[in-house]
């Protein structure tokens, strides 16, 4: 059974259509990324899955349950880490965990979870006094304390410094390895690419594409480039005649070869046969940013600043 099935979801606020037509399925045990520009409808989509919003039309099934009608069943099985939600300033880490574990029928051992998330040292610290990364880890711990089958993590690493982000990523992979299906909403392309098994690109309230990160990248990038220097002279036609190569430029001994498909292999083979050595070789690696631009016609939003950890 699919963990989550969203069919023709539509949600508007007044005249503003937040989600126009969104359908996708999330398989059990995968990390499913949702990316898209700000205001694309990502958060409304996951809020509808969590039962916080009632769709205007369309259907959502979470492990076979309806988030609005089967409120209790869905909440018991779905852990949520939301954007713009927080905890009382004066609550201590251990208190928040103990409190949230009391809400569930089969809670995890919150002390173990606290340990797993590296919060044991901070158990007597009040929420207000935690660093951004610690708050985020607490928020993840609270999303997991009910031993959910599915966890929704919305903008997980926003505001974290690079090290804390990487730590959080490896934590998420461990959670997935423990069998929890994860929906990851993010505007960080590197995060989505690194963590997701599959990604839905949402744009303008619609699903622009659903694929593996590699699949999305391959779809979007018609051509790639490789650049290198050669000490020895080389007849340009050796490269231009190669299949999949679309253009070759040379100036000041610096070569730029553009192509698609398997052209990298053929370029490397041709250079070897010509017995020339490529130095300073660079392949401009296509990544999810390029795929994002190709699919949405916009650059991924990178305007959200990092909050530097102040110690």
Partner 1 sequence: MRALPQMVKIESRLFLRDSATVLFGVLFPTALLLGMGAVPALRESTPDTGGLRSIDIWAPTALVFGMVMIAVQHIPAVIATYRERGILRRLSTTPAPPGSILLAQMIVAFASVVASAALLIISAWAVLGIAPPERPLEFVAAFIVGYAALLGIGLVSAAVARTSSAATQIGTLLFVALMFFGGAFLPRVVMPDMLRAVGEFIPPGLQALTTAWSVEAGEITATNGGLPFWLQIAAMAGIAIVTTAIAAKLFRWE
Hey, which bits of 94-180 come out as E strands?
A: 150-154
Nearest residue (CB) to partner 1, 43 versus 186:
43
Residues 110, 201: Cα–Cα separation, whole Å: 35
Nearest residue (CB) to partner 1, 101 versus 258:
101
Nearest residue (CB) to partner 1, 144 versus 257:
144
Nearest residue (CB) to partner 1, 49 versus 202:
49
DSSP state, residue 88: -
Among 22, 41, 76, 208, binds partner 1 (CB under 8 A): 76
Nearest residue (CB) to partner 1, 102 versus 302:
102
- Using CB under 8 A as the binding rule, the residues of this chain from 242 to 301 that contact partner 1 are none
Least CB distance from residue 6 to partner 1, whole Å? 17
- Using CB under 8 A as the binding rule, the residues of this chain from 103 to 162 that contact partner 1 are 103-105, 142, 146
Q: Is 102 in the site for partner 1 (CB under 8 A)?
A: yes
Structure tokens at 34: 């949702």
Least CB distance from residue 15 to partner 1, whole Å? 20
Long-range contacts of 248-257 (CB under 8 A, 24+ apart): 253/229, 254/227, 254/228, 254/229, 255/227, 255/228, 255/229, 255/230, 256/225, 256/226, 256/227, 257/225, 257/226, 257/227
Least CB distance from residue 11 to partner 1, whole Å? 15
Among 59, 85, 170, 232, binds partner 1 (CB under 8 A): 85
- Is the CB of residue 64 less than 8 Å from the CB of residue 100? no
Question: Tokens 């994002």 label which residue?
Answer: 292
Stretch of residues binding partner 1 (CB under 8 A), selected from 33-41, 93-101, 108-116, 233-241: 93-101
- Is the CB of residue 188 less than 8 Å from the CB of residue 21? no
Least CB distance from residue 73 to partner 1, whole Å? 9
Q: How many residues does the chain have?
A: 311
Among 7, 20, 28, 52, binds partner 1 (CB under 8 A): 52
- Is the CB of residue 100 less than 8 Å from the CB of residue 113? no
Count CA atoms closer than 13 A to 29's CA, side-chain side.
4
Q: Is 55 in the site for partner 1 (CB under 8 A)?
A: no
Number of residues that bind partner 1 (CB under 8 A): 26
Q: Is 14 in the site for partner 1 (CB under 8 A)?
A: no
Least CB distance from residue 92 to partner 1, whole Å? 8
Alpha helices in 117-161 (DSSP H): 132-144
Residues 246, 66: Cα–Cα separation, whole Å: 52
Q: Is 68 in the site for partner 1 (CB under 8 A)?
A: no
Q: Is 98 in the site for partner 1 (CB under 8 A)?
A: yes
Among 19, 60, 80, 209, binds partner 1 (CB under 8 A): 80
**Edge-to-edge strands, sheet with 31-35:** 57-62, 4-13, 16-26, 206-211, 198-203, 31-35, 181-185, 150-154, 78-81
Least CB distance from residue 177 to partner 1, whole Å? 24
Q: Is 100 in the site for partner 1 (CB under 8 A)?
A: yes
Give the 3-state secondary structure percentages of the chain, helix then strand then coil, rounded to 5. Answer: 35, 30, 40
List contacts with partner 1 (CB under 8 A).
50-52, 72, 75-76, 78, 80, 82, 84-88, 90-91, 95, 98-100, 102-105, 142, 146
């Amino acid at each position: 059974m699919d963990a989550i099935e969203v069919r023709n979801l539509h949600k508007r606020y007044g005249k503003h259509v937040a989600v126009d037509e969104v359908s996708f399925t999330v398989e059990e045990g995968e990390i499913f990324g949702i990316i898209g520009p700000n205001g694309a409808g990502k958060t409304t989509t996951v809020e509808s899955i969590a039962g916080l919003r009632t769709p205007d039309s369309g259907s959502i099934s979470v492990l076979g349950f309806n988030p609005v009608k089967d409120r209790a069943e869905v909440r018991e099985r779905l852990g949520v880490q939301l954007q713009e939600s927080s905890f009382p300033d004066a609550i201590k880490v251990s208190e928040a965990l103990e409190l949230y574990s009391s809400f569930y029928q089969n809670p995890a051992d919150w002390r173990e979870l606290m340990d797993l998330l590296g919060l044991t040292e901070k158990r007597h610290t009040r929420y207000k006094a935690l660093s951004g990364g610690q708050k985020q880890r607490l928020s993840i711990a609270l999303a997991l304390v009910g031993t959910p089958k599915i966890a929704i993590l919305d903008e997980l690493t926003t505001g974290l410094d690079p090290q804390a982000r990487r730590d959080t990523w490896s934590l998420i992979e461990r959670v997935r390895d423990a069998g929890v299906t994860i929906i990851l909403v993010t505007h960080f392309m590197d995060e989505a690419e690194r963590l997701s098994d599959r990604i839905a690109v949402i744009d303008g309230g619609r699903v622009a594409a659903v694929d593996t990160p590699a699949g999305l990248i391959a779809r979007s990038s018609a051509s790639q480039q490789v650049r290198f220097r050669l000490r020895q002279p080389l007849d340009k036609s050796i490269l231009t005649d190669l299949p999949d190569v679309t253009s070759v430029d040379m100036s000041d001994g610096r070569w730029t070869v553009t192509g698609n498909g398997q052209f990298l292999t053929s370029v490397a083979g041709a250079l070897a046969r010509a017995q020339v050595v490529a130095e300073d070789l660079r392949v401009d690696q296509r990544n999810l940013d390029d795929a994002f631009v190709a699919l949405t016609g916009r650059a991924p939003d990178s305007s959200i600043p990092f909050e530097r950890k102040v110690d």
